[in-house]
Amino acid sequence: MRHVLYGILRSDANAAGRVSSLAAGPPLRLISDGGLGAAVSLTPDEATGPPDPKVHARIVQALHAFCTVLPMRHGISFDSEAEVRGILCEHGGKFRRALDDLQGCGEMGVRAIRRAMTTSPPCAAAPQTALSPARAYLAARQSHYAARDAAGKEASRFAERMERAFQGLFAQCKTESFFLCDHHVLSLHFLVRQCETGCFRDAFRRLEQRSPEKLLLTGPWPPYNFVSCENLVLSHV
């Protein structure tokens, strides 16, 4: 039987029973070693492909609902219980430090969409004669890079303004942004203590009322974007 891994958590007297009682997907069990536990399900060796990613996400969310959990990348599985214990032993120090850093926290997501400014460099005086093909190409590239630099600075200012709206309500923040057609899409991931979740939502509502951008709030989620235990831990997709 394959042991499909969903998350790493601290193992105490109640952890095994709570994990096995979850009904978010296939039956789970907790494999413990050195005060850590790995939440796994068993699947036949002949099963084709990893479990449904939506089921995987539901299980990680259910674990996060009652404890601090390090979410594992979808599709990780091991041949035996001994291999799972080996992972807990080999990476135990990193797992414990990560659990300490994330204790009592969840991830809140804010996405903002705005129309990007079309900033162009100042126009030079019209030349007396037409540019040669080579000079025209260089001028076009110069204009392109100037516009790209201006858009990048604009995006940075936008991200800083959005982050300031939640100042004091998060422990860490990570930002992703990209341009889609003529819109700038900004995704901010905040590590927020559970006791601050209500205040964070209030800050979002105030920002939403005064912001011209289209905003979306999600969470709290397991801390997908704030774990880095080598290649085992899932980065948020």
More confident residue, 228 or 192: 192
- pLDDT, tens digit (0-9, with 9 covering 90-100), for 159-174: 888 889 999 999 999 9
- pTM for this prediction: 0.76
Is residue 124 pLDDT above 50, yes or no?
Answer: no
* pLDDT given for residue 189 in this prediction: 95
Residue among 228, 196, 207 at smallest CA distance from 161 = 207
Instruction: From residue 8, give the alpha-carbon distance in Å to each of 15, 108, 144.
Output: 11, 20, 47
Determine what percent of the chain is predicted with pLDDT higher than 70. 84
Question: Is-contact 73 56, C-beta < 8 A?
Answer: no
* pLDDT given for residue 126 in this prediction: 47
Assign 3-class secondary structure to the chain: CEEEEEEEEECCCCHHHHHHCCCCCCCCEEEEECCEEEEEEEECCCCCCCCCHHHHHHHHHHHHCCCCEEEECCCCEECCHHHHHHHHHHCHHHHHHHHHHHCCEEEEEEEEEEECCCCCCCCCCCCCCCCCHHHHHHHHHHHHHHHHHHHHHHHHHHHHHHHHCCCCCCCEEEEEEEEECCEEEEEEEEEEEHHHHHHHHHHHHHHHHHCCCEEEEEEEECCHHHCCCHHHECCCC
- pLDDT, tens digit (0-9, with 9 covering 90-100), for 70-106: 999 888 889 999 999 999 999 999 999 999 999 999 9
Q: What is the C-alpha separation between 161 and 1, in angstroms, rounded?
A: 51
- pLDDT, tens digit (0-9, with 9 covering 90-100), for 193-223: 999 999 999 999 999 998 888 899 999 999 9
Peptide bond into 133 cis (omega under 30): no
Residue among 176, 154, 158 at smallest CA distance from 236 = 176
- Band (pLDDT 50/70/90 cuts) for residue 4 is very high
- Band (pLDDT 50/70/90 cuts) for residue 125 is very low
Half-sphere exposure of 59 (CA within 13 A, CB side): 28
Question: Is-contact 6 56, C-beta < 8 A?
Answer: yes
Residue among 66, 57, 80, 53 at smallest CA distance from 9 = 66
